[in-house]
Amino acid sequence: MKFGINTFLFTSPFTTKDISLFPTFKAWGFDSVEIALEDASHINAKTIRQALDDNGLICNTICAALGPGRDLRGSPRDQEMSLKYLSEVMEIMPLLGCKLLAGPLYSSVGRAEFVSKEEYKLQWELVVKNLGKLADHAVQAGLKIAIEPLNRYETDFINTSAQAMQMLHDVNSRSLYVHLDTFHMNLEEKDPAQAILNVGDKLALLHASGSDRGTPGGDQINWDRIFYALNTTGYAGDVVIESFTPEVKIIAKAASIWRKIEPSVQTIAVEGLKFLKKCRSQGLVPMGLLQK
């Protein structure tokens, strides 16, 4: 289990010049950088890879950005643009040494509305078809893709791990996995730790964020149970701190960050990492003995 930091905490969009952040990430003690890549053209992948190597860091995950105009259940144009964007990102991932593309790949973030059961079924079938295309691409490239359930305010489509697992079942590709986020799970899962156990070896990424989108550990999430579940399943992927601040305005608006949650980005990163490493070192505790 390694620990990473998502670049949305610091900048949007991430471009080649933002390799200037890497020495700081290393000094803070992170193993990996999760690059939130809004367009493949924003970076020179070879330059990024060299900077990662120079700083003793890795990029295990590209975090996809599905904004307006990118939607696998949207208009034909939106589907086309989404598939084009995700395919272009996958093309440069090997240059970064990166194996995982993750995020809410199925829909534009913020699309949330009541639809009939019949309409939902049609949207589901459309996403199955389009994710199938991406999954086939991933298999050929030796990559993995992981879909992230979001909370009810950010999507009406996949909110829970059970829904994500159903999508995996329907697409039926060995390249497709699940990406869970403690913030979203805190809102949508009856029991976040049990959700991790249910996903099991199909969990490819965990985003760690406080229940208020702030520092992991300074919140009401039962992190003991989260790490019990991770350890029980033998999770060996990244635990990535993903939080947001009002200073990165476009992301703050998308995530509804209207106030300063923590004193600084350094507080989120450094204190959050310290807490998560402590949780990892505590070992296994029978989950039934832990307060929910």
Supply the residues annotated as catalytic: 148, 242
Report the alpha-carbon distance of residue 35 to residue 5 in Å, rounded: 8
Residues listed for the chain: 292
What's the Cα-to-Cα distance from 54 to each of 28, 49, 51, 108, 280, rounded to whole Å? 16, 9, 5, 35, 27
Strands, E assignment, 58-175: 61-64, 100-103, 144-147
**Can the peptide bond before residue 246 be classed as cis, meaning omega within 30 degrees of 0?**
no
What's the Cα-to-Cα distance from 202 to each of 30, 80, 263, rounded to whole Å? 24, 27, 36
Hey, how many other C-beta atoms are within 10 angstroms of the C-beta on 20?
A: 10
The crossing angle, in degrees rounded to 10, of helices 223-233 and 192-199 is 10
Within 142-266, residue ranges assigned H as helices are 161-171, 182-188, 192-199, 223-233, 249-254, 265-266
Say if CB 72 and CB 107 are below 8 A apart.
yes
| CA neighbor of 134 nearest in space, from 176, 75, 179 | 176
